[in-house]
Structure 1
């Protein structure tokens, strides 16, 4: 599979018409319906091949020792057969080797990536606005059970003793905060300027009637508080689906192009809060309820 897209820096500066546009992309391999790995995991396999050591390979590709073994375990499991073999014994405690299947996988990936580069060059030259359109096609084609699939750019990474706090700026500027493990930050390549998407189930989103002073955050423990205007209320037998168009970060009212977040609440809550099309409300959810993902 391939994912041609502009780099994070280019995506962040797409509003600058004077900046040169370059088309980028990535390739990843699948085993059946499961994604086996992209450039980062194949690079790890190649480093293991070249060094014969998981420790040296991890350093070569900028991974922690644990993250490298986690990636190896995932690849072995998804392939349905070993790709990396641990050797026991020896002065250094044994080495790490690749199976013939892993060697073929690296060769296949390199060949596909070479052809992918040629494809990108041809497509970029032939199709206007190819980079942005192809990236969008990839995002809207994503399948997940989470009702809310929100795209943004990482604006802050705060390292903690156990977990990291990642802030994602939505297109309108309002932030979403997620708490993830160090390994997830590293594996997903979450750094300032990197594009990512946030998944939030509608049942995890609470709504609060906006009867407070504009711009004043609610006094709640939940980190994410996104203000906006109700655009749709769809009632069911017990629950209702409420969609909220988000304000811009500068306090501007939402428009037809605003990011929309959806919550599932009871019909009784809709009536109690007076939620109807055009009323203002705040969507509230915990940082631990946010799942982050990247295209590669």
Structure 2
């Protein structure tokens, strides 16, 4: 497997800058204008300007000089800072890829790839549940897409996303993705018989633990394969349903409440 590092630069309250925007900067410099550079990378003129503004905001100074009368009605060229940013970004990606490759021998035989390791260290999310898996199937229409992600041998979680999001994220069968589900969006149904509900995800498991407070409680369901799913429900519901560690239960999650993230 070829290891490729994807770097994103981010400052507080500012839009992130990643490879796509650096490629835009390169295209504008190569084509000689913002409009031509935007076409080269498949962006609208407005989206290109938004990206260039985001980069200028992040780095604190302009990366391009624009002038009237060039190709396509106007011209643009890199400032010295823009040239150095592109070179530095390329070096950063190269060094990150070298670092990731260096840890491969330490992970041999574990089933964990260097990319899994790095993303596990670096990913931050407010969602209580984050499960890595591989996309197995996508069914889409003109507006939406239903994406199936296998997170363990016995568990597949389905996410409902827009077709635009599917395209933007490059979702396709075989690609790894991280499933994000907030704990309040998980409903627990006790028993070993699947409930008759219209919810798309009905995930079988065994209650691993229950932590109860005065008002709220957290129920953690073991779905096998080292994967768990946490639900935030009321303490009264825990008592009424008789939820206890070791008992079988199902986690119900609406597909529209599942968020997909990629590395």
**1:239 and 2:216 equivalent?**
yes
2: CA distance, partners of 1:85 / 1:165? 44
Residue 91 of structure 1: how far off its partner (Å)? 8.4
**1:48 and 2:28 equivalent?**
yes
| Aligned with 2:196 (options 215, 218, 234) | 218
1:191-228 CA distance string (max 9 Å, x none): 2111111111111111112353xxx56322x2222111
2: CA distance, partners of 1:192 / 1:228? 25
The DSSP-based 3-state class of the residue aligned with 1:37 is: coil
- When residues 77 and 188 of structure 1 are mapped into structure 2, their CA distance, relative to the original with a 3 A threshold, is farther
| Aligned with 2:255 (options 283, 287, 293) | 287
1:103-132 CA distance string (max 9 Å, x none): 3221112233344455455x2686452993
- When residues 271 and 188 of structure 1 are mapped into structure 2, their CA distance, relative to the original with a 3 A threshold, is same
- When residues 287 and 96 of structure 1 are mapped into structure 2, their CA distance, relative to the original with a 3 A threshold, is farther
- When residues 91 and 143 of structure 1 are mapped into structure 2, their CA distance, relative to the original with a 3 A threshold, is closer
Judge which range, 184-193 or 149-158, deviates more: 184-193
Q: Which residue of 1 aligns with 2:232?
A: 264
Task: In structure 1, list runs of 5 or more residues that go unmatched.
Answer: 1-21, 247-253
1:248-280 CA distance string (max 9 Å, x none): xxxxxx3xx431000011112112222111111
2: CA distance, partners of 1:200 / 1:24? 28
Whether the 8 Å contact between 2:9 and 2:18 is mirrored in structure 1 is: no
Q: Which has the higher contact order (CA 8 A, sep 6+)?
A: 1
**1:140 and 2:120 equivalent?**
yes
Residue pairs, 1:1-296, within 5 angstroms? 22=1, 24-32=3-11, 36-52=16-32, 57=37, 60-61=40-41, 63=42, 65=44, 69=48, 71-72=51-52, 74-81=54-61, 83=63, 92=72, 94=74, 100-119=80-99, 123=102, 127=106, 129=108, 132=112, 134-141=114-121, 142-210=123-191, 212=193, 218-220=196-198, 222-246=199-223, 254=224, 257-295=225-263
State TM-score, norm by structure 2.
0.79
Whether the 8 Å contact between 1:29 and 1:35 is mirrored in structure 2 is: no
Whether the 8 Å contact between 1:154 and 1:194 is mirrored in structure 2 is: yes
Count residues with an aligned counterpart: 259
2: CA distance, partners of 1:134 / 1:166? 25
The DSSP-based 3-state class of the residue aligned with 2:112 is: helix
Residue 185 of structure 1: how far off its partner (Å)? 2.4
Task: In structure 2, list runs of 5 or more residues that go unmatched.
Answer: none
Whether the 8 Å contact between 1:172 and 1:258 is mirrored in structure 2 is: no
Residue 78 of structure 1: how far off its partner (Å)? 4.1
2: CA distance, partners of 1:183 / 1:84? 30
- When residues 79 and 153 of structure 1 are mapped into structure 2, their CA distance, relative to the original with a 3 A threshold, is farther
